[in-house]
Structure 1
Amino acid sequence: MAELNGLADDRALLGRTSTAERVSDILRSRIAEGYFPPGTRLSEDTIGNALGVSRNTLREAFRLLTHERLLVHQLNRGVFVRVLTVEDVEDIYRTRRLVECAVVRGLGEPPYAVDGLARAVADGQRATREADWKGLGTANIHFHRELVALAGSARTDELMRSVFAELRLAFHLVDDPRRLHAPYLARNDRILRALQDGDRAEAENLLGVYLDDSLKRVVEVYGRRVSEEL
């Protein structure tokens, strides 16, 4: 299966004391990076063998990710990557606006540690030059993860890690990822420049408009695609 490419390489991340939490971390990252599209059935045997973990450990990891709304268990059918509703997408963006804007608003005095943001913008620019639209989507999500990380809060990072993984599920059903992500690369750069200039208020304003516009675009396209799938 193409989506399992490289999964065996993640086996080294488990170390000698593999746990369901570590397995769920790996699978969550794979979902966020687009390796497991919505509706994908996750095979216990295939994934368990690739990671070298027991069936019980894998089932516990599945349970954790089901609790995070990334997976869904269907009776007598197995475990699947969840397909979001339009209402899910709207709620994700409400959460993003509450958290991301609050992070920027709560920043202290400049200068700010924006190296991670700069790397994400550079990654997005490189992906655009190479017409790697999946890579552009990943760079876009990394930008916002780095933005949240400016809060210096492990709890906030953990919360938003799941939110961004859910968001990637919505992006999978968008028919033209280039049109979805490319316009926002320049906006990421403007937010970065505002923070480099120490203009926290401008960065928050840019971010709020960004998220509102992105919500409208994603809901429009996602709603149409979900209707087509039904």
Structure 2
Amino acid sequence: MSGAGGLADDRALLGRTSTAERVADILRTRIAEGYFPPGARLSEESIGGALGVSRNTLREAFRLLTHERLLVHELNRGVFVRVLAVGDVDDIYRTRRLVECAVVRGLGQPPFAVAGLAAAVAEGEAAARAGDWKGVSTANIHFHRELVALAGSARTDELMRGVLAELRLAFHVVDDPRALHEPYLRRNREILDALRAGERASAERLLARYLDDSRTRVAAAYAQAVDDPADPAG
């Protein structure tokens, strides 16, 4: 099964206090990175053997990720990585706009702690120079996770971790990742520059337009990739 072999490298992360939540963390990361693509069946035997965990622990991890809408259980067939509908993509972006814009709007007085954002922007620009468009996608996710982290809320961080992992399910089936992600490198830097300058309102406006444009582009590209007749503009 694709991706299962590499899980053995993650076994050390579990330690002696292995829990379903920690197994779910590993699988969530693997799904987000595309090791288990949308539609892939997850084998209890292969994954449990690679991680060295019991079937019950693995099933609980699957249950957690199903609750997060990353997996689906099909009766008599098994557990699969979820395939999104275009409507799901639209809903993900509505959630992102609500949360991310609220985080920026709610920031205190400048200066803002933007070191994590700056690192993510540099990561994306370096990946683009190397022609690594999957790396650009990953850096973009890092940028938005760091943006949400400015709220200093573990609950908000957890919410967005799941939302952004779910979004990666759409990214993995789009045929032209460069066209999808390259335009947002410059826009990430513009948001960073606005926050560095203490211009919170400007950063929020840039972010809102960014997310609206991204929603339209991603939904359209995803609809074409999966041949979904739904209206990509939502």
* TM-score, length-scaled by structure 1: 0.97
Q: CA deviation at 1:4?
A: 3.2
Alignment partner, residue 11 of structure 1: 11
Q: CA deviation at 1:35?
A: 1.8
What is the count of residue pairs matched by the alignment?
Answer: 229
Alignment partner, residue 37 of structure 1: 37
Q: CA deviation at 1:33?
A: 2.0
Alignment partner, residue 196 of structure 2: 196
CA RMSD of superposed structures (Å): 1.3
Q: CA deviation at 1:228?
A: 6.7
Is this contact kept in 1: 2:2–2:36, CA < 8 A? no
Question: Any idea what the Cα deviations from partners look like across 1:117-161, whole Å, max 9, x if unmatched?
Answer: 111111101111111111111000010000000000000011111
Distance of 1:204 and 1:5 partners within structure 2:
43
Distance of 1:195 and 1:32 partners within structure 2:
28
Identity rate of aligned residues, in percent?
Answer: 77
Alignment partner, residue 60 of structure 1: 60
Alignment partner, residue 166 of structure 1: 166
Q: Matches of residues 1-230 of structure 1 in structure 2 within 5 Å? A: 1-4=1-4, 6-227=6-227
Question: Any idea what the Cα deviations from partners look like across 1:33-68, whole Å, max 9, x if unmatched?
Answer: 222110011111111111110111001100110011
Distance of 2:34 and 2:197 partners within structure 1:
34
Distance of 1:133 and 1:3 partners within structure 2:
20
1:95 counterpart SS class:
helix
Distance of 2:65 and 2:220 partners within structure 1:
27
Amino acid at match of 1:131: G
Q: CA deviation at 1:2?
A: 4.5
Question: Any idea what the Cα deviations from partners look like across 1:89-127, whole Å, max 9, x if unmatched?
Answer: 000000000000000000000111111111111110111
Amino acid at match of 2:40: T
Distance of 1:8 and 1:191 partners within structure 2:
39
* TM-score, length-scaled by structure 2: 0.95
Distance of 1:148 and 1:228 partners within structure 2:
31
Distance of 2:73 and 2:2 partners within structure 1:
22
Q: CA deviation at 1:5?
A: 5.0
- Structure 1 residue runs of 5 or longer lacking an equivalent are none
Distance of 1:221 and 1:179 partners within structure 2:
10
Amino acid at match of 2:113: A
Amino acid at match of 2:55: R
Amino acid at match of 1:89: V
Distance of 1:5 and 1:90 partners within structure 2:
34
